[in-house]
A and B are shown apart, each in its own frame.
Chain A
């Protein structure tokens, strides 16, 4: 089973929730804490369900999400 690592850049995020809306597997949620801009940034709430479709990153207007495929030996 392939698994993926989602890397968020919370200081770039403006909390628009377009990524959460685009995710077909409900992997993404919004953090309780706020970033320096005052927004609740996106974060992974269920990373193991990620299928690596990159819909979230495709819809992100602020480049706040990057996705990597985990290979053998990765944490």
Chain B
């Protein structure tokens, strides 16, 4: 029999601890599929965050290390500088990257550190039980915004990708969604492009994944994907936010 789809060698055989329908599993898999296809599995170092994906190093079949909360970009900067021939990435949620680790990610981009950051934006703090995140949408309920987030009290949700794209050191920034097979395939292409730009040493690259948290959103996994499509993508439009001219020419 000819394989059409096989589970990638880039993922370990271990079953993940994520809730049913959590799109972390899809994001993990497409990143590892790309590294597998590029033949980079033995040449990659990843940095795991704090948050639901704190155990990512158990599931991704590459060398990984764990960083303090929000500090994955600082750790990845060091690794990439010491090992310029390796592919280096961070995998961070919105609590990690957009909240406690804002300074680290901004200054990694300012310095143009040549690693790739994967930003999983599900608009809520998943691991700690569904508190409001900087990326929670206006009107969205969480345990700390029980009547829905209000603009007056909490401000507007932060658009990290647009903000980071305004920094010169960031060369490739794209927002993708994981709500449908078509968008997952598009996301995989974005991941590949980010790693290729990193290999060329052009600068900092970031991919934002619009993700779900069915448990803390209080929805079924299928309804959560619909909610991403109808609500999250309306505020966070998907697509390339910044790309290098060199990549266009090549």
Contact = CB atoms under 8 A, between A and B. Distances in A.
Answer yes or no: are A and B bound together in one complex: yes
Contacts of A70: 1
Contact of A54 (B5, B18, B21, B220): B5
Given A14-B20, A17-B222, A66-B3, 12 more contacts: A5-B1, A14-B21, A22-B181, A54-B5, A59-B181, A59-B184, A61-B24, A61-B29, A63-B8, A63-B11, A63-B25, A67-B4
B3 A67 contact: yes
Interface in B212-226: 214, 220-222, 225
A48 interface: no
B154 interface: no
B29 A21 contact: no
A17 to B, nearest CB: 6
Interface residues of B, number: 30
A63 B7 contact: yes
Interface of B: 1-8, 11, 15-16, 18-26, 29, 180-181, 184-185, 214, 220-222, 225
B18 to A, nearest CB: 7
Q: Is the contact region of chain A dominated by helix, strand, or loop, or is it mixed?
A: loop
Interface residues of A, number: 31
Given A21-B225, A22-B180, A66-B7, A59 B26 contact: yes
Given A16-B221, A22-B180, A68-B4, A61 B11 contact: no
A33 interface: no
Interface string A53-75: 11101111111011111110010
B225 A18 contact: yes
Contact of B6 (A16, A58, A66): A66
Nearest to B222: A21
A2 B123 CA distance: 42
